[in-house]
A and B are shown apart, each in its own frame.
Chain A
Amino acid sequence: MNRSAPTRHDEAWRYSDISAVEAAWPLAAPESIIVPAGGNFARTILQDAGSIHQLDIAIGKGATTAIHVLNIGGDYGRVELNITLHEGADFKLGAVQIGGGTQNLEIITTVTHAEPKATSSQIVRSVLAGTAIGTYLGKVAVARDAQLTDSVQSVKAMLLDRSATANAKPELEIYADDVKCAHGCAIGELDAMGLFYLQARGIAPADAKKLMLQAFVAGVFDGAADEEMLTDAALKKLGELV
């Protein structure tokens, strides 16, 4: 109780807007979800007002969980997921964060493969303009006897302005020996030649950027119950940045 607010020395908060966190402190306890063995759970998180979402999910034996996140609103927005996978469970995250101005947006995940044969996949796309900061810290921990773990992290960020910042840190902590963990991480800018090609065919610069960014985030919300809502909200936000 009454733990003091985190500081930048806390790894999971190192890029956070500490004054915003302090103002929100103490946080409510994380929402805790238990997905029973063999169950299927799905959740959409649309962070559009500048808030901190913390979710703890324990995924039972053979159960599945799909989380889709669109992190776009407020000066400071944080989505934190703490996932524990039991035997043969599956976790999927599809997340997009889009920030401009002075926004600070973060997606922080800890995915623990506690037992064998569980699978996890995380796709995170960030688009950042102005002096916005977008952070993904994703730790995948594989317990000693969690053999045949299969884990993927695909993390990409697109910077629309040189003044924007992307922090991306996929992290692996593996204590089992028969595991497959893949992670890729790329931070880039829109392809200038591609933009010129679109413009040379008559598309105005802002629309050309929007078309390419739409392609950049495409697919992340595939299969979400709220796919259309998420896609529309993402496109609207992209339209505000270009």
Chain B
Amino acid sequence: MLQITNLHANVGDKPILKGLTLSLNAGEIHAIMGPNGAGKSTLGYVLSGRPGYEVTEGSVTFNGNDLLALEPHERAAAGLFLGFQYPVEIPGVSNVQFLREALNAQRKNRGEAPLSGAEFLKVAREQAGALGMDMDMLKRPVNVGFSGGEKKRNEMVQMGIINPALAILDETDSGLDIDALRTVGDGINRIMRKPDKAVLLITHYQRLLDYVKPDFVHVLADGRITRTGGAELALELERDGYKELAA
């Protein structure tokens, strides 16, 4: 599904990704762990096309197509979803308006008919309900005044409504208490644990992986994948830290 080959990327003039190679097949969940500043968020931004994140070498294909040739909104329509480490506040724009416009823009881009207001609200209500978010929050401006945990939950509601093929989840577990962690973990399994979908789970901690079992765990350090293993690698990292492994 996703094939990243020898990816180099700069933020400004600074090289951050330095030859990253990674491949995800449909049906797989991959966890990426690594120390602060390793380039994990940069990878998510580069894959979703954030301006200012410049690819200098390498390639990325998504379902066989050149992902890097697409605009951010086209990548979303192609099925890519980035769960933001720091979800953005958009004053004055309600969640409902934002998500309906986003979903219908993606559908239009794929040549599908738009959802009516009623159809959309049905989907939104289901997803918000499953993630324990009340409809009042969905009517409020996007992320404005939401706590850290509420913002992360909102990302998952958005993922449920948009129903992407590939989700890159950037530290979706940070800022969550143990109950919210379980809700979010269940949400990821319910929405994304499907034979035709894949997940790239960026995390600092082993604890989310208790709920969402990864098929592969990678260590990202200094802009590269330095090690790959199964779920047991996360436990090893938790015990020994990154220093040990990078050495």
Contact = CB atoms under 8 A, between A and B. Distances in A.
Interface of A: 191-194, 196-205, 207-208, 211-212, 214-216, 218
A166 to B, nearest CB: 19
Nearest to B97: A211
A195 to B, nearest CB: 9
B91 A215 contact: yes
A202 B90 contact: no
B184 interface: no
Contacts of A207: 101, 105
Contacts of A218: 92
Nearest to B72: A199
B162 interface: yes
What 8 pairs across the A-B complex have the smallest Cβ distances? Answer: A215-B92, A202-B76, A202-B106, A201-B102, A197-B88, A199-B72, A202-B102, A202-B105
B103 A202 contact: yes
B51 A192 contact: yes
B93 A199 contact: no
Interface in B26-43: none
Interface string B97-117: 111011101100100000000
30 contacts: A191-B88, A192-B51, A196-B88, A197-B84, A197-B88, A197-B142, A199-B71, A199-B73, A199-B76, A200-B48, A200-B75, A200-B76, A201-B158, A201-B162, A202-B76, A202-B77, A202-B103, A202-B109, A202-B162, A203-B73, A203-B101, A204-B71, A205-B73, A207-B101, A211-B90, A211-B97, A211-B98, A211-B101, A212-B92, A215-B92
B72 A212 contact: no
Contacts of A192: 51
Nearest to B94: A215
State the majority secondary structure of interface residues on A: helix
Interface in B45-102: 48-51, 71-73, 75-77, 82, 84, 87-93, 97-99, 101-102
Contacts of B109: 202
Given A200-B76, A202-B162, 18 more contacts: A191-B88, A191-B90, A193-B88, A194-B90, A196-B50, A196-B51, A196-B88, A197-B84, A198-B98, A200-B48, A201-B162, A202-B103, A202-B109, A204-B105, A208-B73, A212-B90, A212-B92, A214-B93
A159 to B, nearest CB: 18
B96 to A, nearest CB: 13
B99 A201 contact: yes
Most buried by A among B72, B89, B93, B162: B72
B107 to A, nearest CB: 9
B73 A204 contact: yes
B71 A201 contact: no
A194 B87 CA distance: 9
A171 B101 CA distance: 41
